[in-house]
Structures are given as C-alpha cells and as structure tokens.
Amino acid sequence: MAFKPVRFTRSLFILLSFFALSSLADSPAASPVIPPDALCDSTRYPALCKTVLRSQNGTVFDFGRVLLRRSLSQSQIFLNQVDSYLQSSSSLSQPTIGALKDCSFLAGLNIEFLSDALNAVQNLNDFLSSSQAQDLETLFSAVLTNQQTCQDGLQTTASDGRVKDDLSSSLSNDSKLHSVSLALFTKGWVPQKNTTTSWPNNRRLLDFLQSRIFDSTSRSHDRKLLQSVNGSVVVTGSVVVSQDGSGNFTTINDAINAAPNNTASGAGYFLIFITSGVYQEYVSIPKYKQYLMIVGDGINRTIITGDHNVVDGYTTFNSATFAVVAQGFVAVNITFRNTAGAIKHQAVAMRSGADLSVFYLCSFEGYQDTLYTHSMRQFYRECDIYGTVDFIFGNAAVVMQNCNLYPRLPLSGQFNTITAQGRTDPGQNTGTSIQNATIKAADDLAPSVGTVQTYLGRPWKEYSRTVFMESWIDSLINPAGWHDWNGTFALSTLYYAEYNNSGPGSNTSNRVTWPGYHVINATDAVNFTVANFLIGDAWLPPTGVPHYSGFAS
C-alpha cells in the first residue's frame, strides 16, 4: 500500500488522545448524525464501544475515526510497556525475552498499519473502492493477528508470570478495541462486495521466470529485464548470490542488505538470483525491503536451511529459517527447510507476513508448523509442502493452487493435521483456500497410512476458516476429514468447507457433523478464488506467475 507513514512523537499522541475524546460536532452535514448505541450494539464488544464514544452523536465515519485513533494510541502505549520490560530484562528468562522481542516487533508493525489506515480515511466520508477497502481490511486483520501472536508467545513464559499477566491483560483489552475499530471501519467505508463469476483467460503458462531473466545457454551473469505481458518493466536491478564467489555475494543476507529500500509499488522488482547450494542462513526480510524477487536454481538445488525450534528455546514465530514482512515479495525455485525434526515440535521453515507475496515452484520442508502463513495476502502456486502437525498454519488470506501437500510420519502417538487456521475475529478477511491440490503421503508415511491418522485440519482459533476445493485427496485422510482442537471449541464458529474434490479420501459422507462444516456448491466456493478472496487479478499479473482467477476447470 502506498500510504505515507506517520512519524510518532509525544505531542502527536497527546493530540490523538484529545481528538478521540473531544466533541464530534465537526461532522459533515451530508452524513447522518446518529447516537452510537445502535452502532455499538452491532459490534462484538458494545460496552467498550459505548465507553469510548461516550454517548456523543456523530456519523459512522466520525465514530470510526475515533476508534481508529484510540487503537493507534493504545498500540503505542503497549509498545512502550513491552520496551520497558525489555530495558530491564536482566532478571527475565530467555524465553520471556524472546517473546517480548516478538511483541515489540509486532506492536511496531501495528502502529504502522493503523497509521496507514488513519491516513487513508482521515478526511473520507464515503465508501472506498473495493481494492482500497480490501487493502485496509487486510491491515486491520493483521493488527488483530499480531496481537494474538504476541499473546501466544507470552503463554510460553510461565517462569515470568508477572510479565505475562501484565501484558496479557493489555493485549486482551486492546484486541477488543481493535475488533471494534475493524467493525466500524467495515460499516463506514467498505462497499458491499461484488462477487466475480467470470474471469479473463489468463491460464496460459508464462515462460519460466528463470529463462526470461538469464541466458538459457550459459551461466554468465548477464541479466535481462523481466517483462510482463504488456511489456512494462518488472525487474529493474539484480544481483547474484553464489557460494563459490562467482556472483556478487556469497550469502543471501548480504544480497538482501544491498537491495534498495522502500521501493514504491509499480517501480519494479529487485531480483536476487541464488545459485545452487545449501545455504545455512537465517533470513529475515524487513518491511522496508519491498518488492524483492528471489529466484533459485530449483527445488532441492537452491536450499535455505536452519533448525531453530521451540524445544531449544525459540518462540514459534522466531523459529523460522526464512521470514519476510516486506510487501510484494516473490520467491521462485527454492527449497525452504527446517531440519529440527519431529522431536523438536514447533519448527518453522517459512514465515510470511508479507502483503501481496507470491511463492512459485518452491518447496517447504519441516514437521510440525512447517509453513507459517502468518498474515496479510499470499499466493502459492505449484509448491510442495511437507509436514506433520498443523503444517500449514497462520491467519493470512491465502490461496494455494496446484500444490502438492505431503503429510509425513509424525512422532509416535501423534496424528497429522494439514492445516490449523488462526482467524480470531469474524470481521477478518482471512482464511486458507487450497485449490487443485494433490494430497498424498510422503515416502516416510506411506507404509504407515493404515495406523497414522491424517486430517485436513483443526481449528486453532475461534473463527478458523479453511476451504479445500477441486483437489485430489488420497486415502490417507481419515473419513471424518477434520479433527477438533479441544472438545467443542470453535465447532460452531469455524468455517470449514469442501467443494468438488476427488480421490479416495474425498468422500464426504462420513465427515464431521459440526455446525461450522459445509459441503458447498460453486456459488459459495467462488468466494474463495483468487479473483474474489485476494482480488489477485489486480496484483498477480506483474509477477509473471500463472494463476487461475476462478475455478481450475
């Protein structure tokens, strides 16, 4: 998103607090002035909403801005609280320090996201366009996800109960505030969504990216500009990473550090080509390294690997071998791996919180929690994903097309769950849509398919949302299809659906009978396609990565 960030100072927050509590008499005459009670009653937390708005009259836009300013102010207060603990961390355990660092990072992102949203609606008293509305819904959804991730990390800090209790209370209260902000934003600025049911014919497989960037007859480092179908420049600069010293850099991190900062949307990608080799690096791409494209020599040829895990003291969030939060990230032809093994439990190979991110012809290898689709909007095409427990998890708005999902052999006594989606609020525009996939046992699981149970997913959070459609499902999937998380938790609030799947494991006649489970038709399934769920036709074409806008067939 091309919104200009706010620079935060003490005086600005005093001013924000003043605006949040001051009279709403400056409402434009064209907007109906209403009391807040009815509006607040439609949110999840009406009492909190009414307390913030203090029974004043205003428009839905006025109320939305008041809640947004308060959310922004509280996010800064929370960040200050976390940083205060970190500044006196000598008495804290390492797991607590790790969780606090995650919280500080995530709170900083929330301040940026909320300030972007405030800038966008500061003087707007009308509907946004559909694409602008989804941009901001994505930001609000990510704010709630970041809050929950911080909360989850703090739950592992039992030895420092005071820190956990203090911050958990703040997180709970602030999350309720953010939920109300999202609800009022939706009521004020989000137009009624129009479902697309016909799409442009974009299924033609584009030339393989690598051959369009490098000379196909040699390994010289003469770069070519990658161009989109309409001829506009997509790649404006490039470097090569090679362990033998023949490129510009020998490490991936050095190449990322050399990439330009704050590249604007539409200005082109900076390409990092990573030659074959095993790169034992932990990579974290920060928010200001937008529009990076990394291309490898192929799955199992260019491998980025690590072994951080929860058993060894890392948070799940920070166990990732490769992590990215920079908008417009694209990865092609690379294996991302975590080698900690099933015995070390949560161990992430890839974590993405990058908006408009794309993964094409990549492999993600791990056991528990392999692929952390953390937040924002993401697209995966023709990827291989290996794991055991909850191996695709998170709370992004994500579509996966033509991917191979390979459950592996778990620890003795464990069962496999392919997905664990983490939606915490019904207003979030998030969920996991898996389309035209192939689901079959990995080689190590195949001999044990009859004794190890494997499920399509389980509800990690209250409003978990996952759809499998047009996919081939082998017999390893338990006839019930889905597994509970903890008794009846979330069974009536989740949304799990299947549409037009095939294969011996696709029979839905013995599936769970939960209120939130559905066998859906095309009218419902179309909401989870690229065109509707991600508005992907607006941002996927410049990447050169093929996709179905709608159904695969």
In sequence order, the 6+-apart residues with CB closer than 8 A to the CB of 69 are: 16, 17, 19, 20, 118
Q: Distance between CA atoms of 387 and 403, rounded to whole angstroms?
A: 14
**Token digits of residue 234:** 């997509």
What secondary structure does DSSP assign to 229-268, as a single string? TT--B-EEEEEEE-TTS-SSBSSHHHHHHHSPSSPPTTS-
Q: At what angle do helices 161-189 and 94-121 cross, to 10 degrees?
A: 20
Looking at the DSSP assignment, which residues form a beta bridge with residue 392?
371, 419
Distance between terminal CA atoms of the chain? 32
Give φ, ψ of 18 to 5 degrees.
Answer: -60, -45
Say which amino acid occupies 377.
R
Say which amino acid occupies 206.
L
* CA pseudo-torsion sign 124, 66, 142, 469: negative
Q: Distance between CA atoms of 257 and 374, rounded to whole angstroms?
A: 23
Q: Distance between CA atoms of 125 and 219, rounded to whole angstroms?
A: 56
77: enclosing H helix or E strand: helix 60-87
Question: Residue holding tokens 């006594």?
Answer: 413
DSSP tag of 194? P
Question: Helices in 1-59 by DSSP H: which ranges?
Answer: 10-21, 37-41, 46-53
Burial pattern 438-456, b for ≥16 Cβ within 10 A else e, equals: ebbbbeebeeebeebbbbb
DSSP tag of 375? S
**Token digits of residue 416:** 């496999």
Name the CA dihedral angle for 232, 236, 242, 245, rounded to a multiple of 10 degrees: 140
Between the alpha carbon of residue 206 and those of residues 211, 227, 541, 547, the distances in Å are 11, 11, 10, 10
Between the alpha carbon of residue 329 and those of residues 58, 356, 427, 489, the distances in Å are 41, 7, 26, 35
Say which amino acid occupies 349.
A
Q: Which of 369, 384, 390, 474 is labelled catalytic?
A: 390
Neighbours of 510 (CB within 10 A): 10
160 is catalytic: no
DSSP tag of 138? H
| Active-site annotation, residues | 390
